Amino acid sequence: MQQLPRGYYAIQSDFDNSPRDSFTFRGVTYAVCEGVNLFASIGEANEHATEIPQEVLEGLPYESFTTPVLLFSAGRHCIDRFAFTKSLTLLGQGAGISPNIPSDNPLEPPALNPARTEGESVLYGSYWRGRTTLTEPAVETLIVDGFSSEYVRFHDMRLDGGRAYVAFRNIIHISPCGKTLYLFSPPAQDSTLDREVLLQNIRVANYDDLDYGGNFTLLNARRAVLDGICFDTSTQIFGLTSITRDFSNCAANSKTSQYIIKNSYFRNLKGENGICTGCRDAGDRAVCLFVTDSVFVNTSRENEAVIRPHLANDNCRLYVARCTFSDSRGNSGTAFSVMGPGSNVEIIDCSFEGFAGELSHEPPVPRHAPEYIKNMAGGFVTETSDPHRILGVDRADFSVLDSLYVGTRAYYGDLHVHTNCGGKSDGTLPMSEWPARMDEKKLDFAAVVDHRQMRGFFLPEWDEERFIIGTEPGTSIIDLNACRQNQRSVHYNMLFPHKYGLAMVLANFPEFEFRGDELTGSFIYPKFTKERFYKLTRYVQSIGGIMVHPHPKTMLSSDDPLDYYFGEHTFIETIYEHYSSHASIRNYDLWVALLALGKRVYASGGSDTHGDVSNSAVSTFYTGEKSGRAFFNKMRSGDFTVGAVGIKMCIDGHPMGSEVAYSEGMELTLRLDDFYPPAWQEDTAYELRIYTDRGLAYASMYSGKMPQALALEVKQRAFYRAEVFDLTHGYRVAIGNPIWLD
């Protein structure tokens, strides 16, 4: 038996039941020594990996190595929270073996290579922790080759560094995973990071992102090559940018960022935007997309373009050659849709079937808007899907609306935060430091929902003026209607008007198994049937509390909106982490679906920060005093705005969150004011939108600089609600709660 050469470090799955003096890699058994070159985990091997091989093992398609090499046995290897701190090469049993075998029919997907069906090295992660990270600027080379991957995603978080080469080769991604699989954060403006990326022979087939809004990749590099990709039937957003296209593919420290897609196959992409680039605020820097020798079959949502480059200037470029584009559904649009003023497009020797045309240009993104929304003296009827008569400013009476908010002012808060208050809390910022940091972020209040305890409410550092009382347990709902991939876990935020509300819940629901007192006690996360969970919701509400479904589209996965529904007058977190997050988009769509089903559910929002104070997902409240109790009462009423703009709205004196009997002659009056200063952006067009259950009733742009006022005649509808949309950057900045009509 030959010795494993120096510079190679073996990682054995099922370590306790495996030999400690031998290791088999790709059919060859080597003599090894435990703790020297044989290890049970990637973490242990990484600590000892210091030498670089001077020879290449037989059968590996490498001429040489420039890093230590980690060899993985067949079997499963947990890689939770592994951080790459040095240059490494990771080789699985499938190293150098493509998982994709091209089909004889170019319109059919490549088959799975039989050589990759058994004896795989499988990297797996848990739901929350299956993320590998790269933060060390000194890492110059990272190569990962020949694995199957379950719930593992990679994030290059570096903002600075030098030359950096990252390659993932011959990887099979196993469904499901709702997170972005390959994420490369944009470097700092003055960074010297020179990132080059290779994604080669990657296989994603029949992949479910659980409707979380996960990307295949978010890429930022000087040069990135996607070669031999098989992306066949996936609910993921492919990338290379985000849904709102605010993730920039333009490397800040490079004049040109090149993205090359070649020798690849794409079919049935079900996420937004097809294959898309983003190049916002690039100046004269450029993103160039080259696509060659590839096949695209139904590679977008219906009637959307397959490739959507952002040509922000004439230095940007789209080059497509020797590709096949087919849409069997009959696409009423074009295969390519260009965003931006750039015109550097070259299409050579490509075939198209099922499209209305080859190339189109998207309307320019507005960057400027009038100071005031459309509002004429004599009134007018809107040209929207649900036309309404707007009352002229000479007829509108705002006195009733204004009387509802006399003596109040705008306060801004985060309705979902975690602190470090000891016990079971998992935040990192001590509760005692929160008020000062809130002042720095211009944040007035926060709903503190630390896990598994009530300890924080009773500490001397608890701030009655600024904190709303709450907790965030979790559960698994046993009997969902349409659960996907067995993802039935949910969290729920219970908020209370006083410190003993949680104690009352725990006393009446013994399944929480609370043990201890208010300072030392903790409870478990019990499982519930839907019926029992609804009883919990009703009890919380009966003692004056609030029940929120936080981040609904990041945990539970179901095809039935009602599986996310906690009951009437509960809350759905519609803005989560920040306004443009994919979770915010998916959560908002869920809330709209529940409203369409006739459910009376409020919107909520929050950052869910477990670290420093965040002001990326504020809500705007109008109250007469600054106190946790006042903010709680306002939230419970539903008369507040999720987001950064103060919306005041009423129908005949009934504010947002109200239920009122419809009668002829009703009027809706609305004011927009108090745009949260850190969220307002220069050179941005905002749009006020008013919706009913039948669609859009009003829409008009404004700059966000000045207060706005609007009045309209009310029709017999199920509800009215208002929101403010950022047209320039593509996301909602404010969501008002409905007024329901009976």
Instruction: Work out the average pLDDT over 427-437.
Output: 98
Place 377 in a pLDDT band, splitting at 50, 70 and 90: confident
Same domain, 418 and 465: yes
Assigned domain for 65 exists? no
Instruction: Work out the average pLDDT over 655-663.
Output: 99
pLDDT at 128 over 90: no
Instruction: Work out the average pLDDT over 92-117.
Output: 98
Domain boundary among 624, 643, 662: 643
Question: In the prediction, which pLDDT does 388 show?
Answer: 98
Assigned domain for 81 exists? yes
Structural domain containing residue 711: 365-396+647-742
pLDDT at 494 over 90: yes
Question: In the prediction, which pLDDT does 529 show?
Answer: 96
Place 378 in a pLDDT band, splitting at 50, 70 and 90: confident
Q: Phi and psi dihedrals of 614, rounded to 5?
A: -120, 145
Place 343 in a pLDDT band, splitting at 50, 70 and 90: very high
Question: In the prediction, which pLDDT does 395 show?
Answer: 85
pLDDT at 282 over 90: no
pLDDT at 228 over 90: yes
Question: In the prediction, which pLDDT does 742 show?
Answer: 97
Question: In the prediction, which pLDDT does 7 show?
Answer: 98
Which tens digits make up the pLDDT trace of 129-146? 899 999 999 999 999 999
Same domain, 311 and 377: no
Closest CA to 51 of 67, 39, 31, 35: 67
Contact 424, 449 (CB under 8 A): no
Q: Which amino acid is at 237?
A: I
Which tens digits make up the pLDDT trace of 290-317? 999 999 999 999 999 999 999 999 999 9
Same domain, 592 and 537: yes
Same domain, 487 and 461: yes
Provide the token pair at 468: 């709303």
Instruction: Specify the CATH number for the domain of residue 584.
Output: 3.20.20.140
Provide the token pair at 674: 């108090």
Provide the token pair at 741: 């009509």
Same domain, 200 and 247: yes
Instruction: Work out the average pLDDT over 252-265.
Output: 95
Distance between start and end Cα atoms, the chain: 82
Assigned domain for 15 exists? no
CA dist 600 and 489 (Å) reads 23
CA dist 741 and 652 (Å) reads 12
Which tens digits make up the pLDDT trace of 145-156? 999 999 999 999
Same domain, 569 and 596: yes
pLDDT at 722 over 90: yes
Instruction: Work out the average pLDDT over 17-44.
Output: 97
Assigned domain for 59 exists? no
Same domain, 282 and 379: no
Same domain, 298 and 159: yes
Closest CA to 238 of 175, 165, 181: 181
Assigned domain for 209 exists? yes
Assigned domain for 35 exists? no
Instruction: Determine the Cα angle at 694 with ends 688 and 695, to 5°.
Output: 30
Same domain, 108 and 244: yes
Same domain, 721 and 596: no
- Give me the percent of the chain exceeding a pLDDT of 90: 97
- Considering the chain, what is the average pLDDT of its residues? 97
Same domain, 463 and 557: yes
Domain count, the chain: 3
Q: pTM above 0.75?
A: yes
Same domain, 427 and 545: yes
Would strands 345-348 and 317-321 be described as parallel, antiparallel, or unpaired?
A: parallel
Assigned domain for 5 exists? no
Place 252 in a pLDDT band, splitting at 50, 70 and 90: confident
Place 602 in a pLDDT band, splitting at 50, 70 and 90: very high
Instruction: Specify the CATH number for the domain of residue 719.
Output: 2.60.40
